[in-house]
Amino acid sequence: MKAFIAELEQANVGELLYNEPLSKHTTWKIGGPADLLILPTGKDELVALVKLLHKHGLGWTNLGRGSNMLVSDKGVRGVVIKPAQGLDYMRIDGNTVIAGASYSFIKLSVLTGRQGLSGLEFGSGIPGTVGGAVYMNAGAHGSDVSRIFKSADIVLETGELVRYEREDMRFSYRHSILHELRGVVIEAAFELEEGDRTEITSTLAAHKERRLRTQPLQMACAGSVFRNPPGDFAARFIQEAGLKGFQIGGAQVSELHANFIVNTGQGTARDVLALMSHIQSTIEERFGVSLVPEVLVVGER
């Protein structure tokens, strides 16, 4: 590790933060320290970083906005990569929109809509980055990334830079090939359609109004905690089980949306995991339904 650090500090790949609390980098505001958090400032820097990690035989954890991630209270050992400002860009070429990994998915949805491009309306309430949305095949309102995905530039764990087309991504419900191989999205391209700007912005406004009315966005949370069972909704089961408002430590089932867990102020990863387990066992016992977590749990247990 010492040899890696010495070489890393000479490589100028981005900001290096040692023993950085990851609670500062997740929307749950939960998580212990990363041994080393690295913020690459551009495509070349990210590729160079991954090549250097591979050279030294070191693994890493990828972090976007932290909106779909629960980091353990003990933190993450080794290196955490968080694409930074140099990958926060968007450009439009005809009906194709290209965005860097750290670009806001909500912002992308809103700005393309204002240009009269349709297809990303579903993303107006997904509080993550473009890289995270591709990784998770993020979706809402009956659509998801796979419907509009064109290609992505990805650096694999060997440092090889590849371009994956839609057919390469193995998209399924909240899943992509990036769950099976290690890689970091650098940028992604989405194929949209020309639409009526007034109609698109009206749809975006309706989605926003509904989101503000039904989701606890003023509290620290991480979006939907469990995947929806086929043909149904996780929130329906949790609500019918009477678990809205149920609390363990500083983690509470939201009063607004039953599939959200909020951090009431002093919540820990241990609290969230205990609450998730209680929800799963209750729903299994009451309805015979197994709820599968949608959030990613990372770090030292």
Q: Verify whether residue 294 is a known catalytic residue.
A: yes
Residues paired with 61 in a beta bridge: 80
With 0-12 / 13-18 / 19 or more C-beta atoms within 10 angstroms meaning exposed / middle / buried, residue 260 is buried
Query: For the chain, what's the residue count?
Result: 301
Residue 187 annotated among the catalytic residues of the structure: no
Helix (H), strand (E), coil (C) string for 150-203: EEEEEEECCCCEEEEEHHHCCCECCECHHHCCCEEEEEEEEECEECCHHHHHHH
Active-site residue among 20, 45, 187, 294?
Answer: 294
* Residue showing tokens 């090889």: 160
Handedness of CA 109, 111, 112, 116 (dihedral sign): positive
Q: How far is CA 107 from CA 68, 97, 127, 194, 300, in A?
A: 17, 12, 9, 18, 33
Question: Is the separation of the CB atoms in 271 and 249 below 8 Å?
Answer: yes
The catalytically annotated residue of 146, 176, 224, 254 is: 224
157 burial via Cβ count (<10 Å: 0-12, 13-18, 19+): middle
**The one catalytic residue among 102, 174, 187, 254:** 174
CA distance 197 to 42: 33
CB neighbours of 242 closer than 8 A, spacing ≥ 6?
Answer: none
Contact (CB, 8 A) for 124 and 201: no
Determine whether 167 is an active site residue: no
**Token match 């990334």: residue?**
145
**What is the C-alpha to C-alpha distance for residues 260 and 220, in angstroms, rounded to an integer?**
10
Catalytic residues: 174, 224, 294
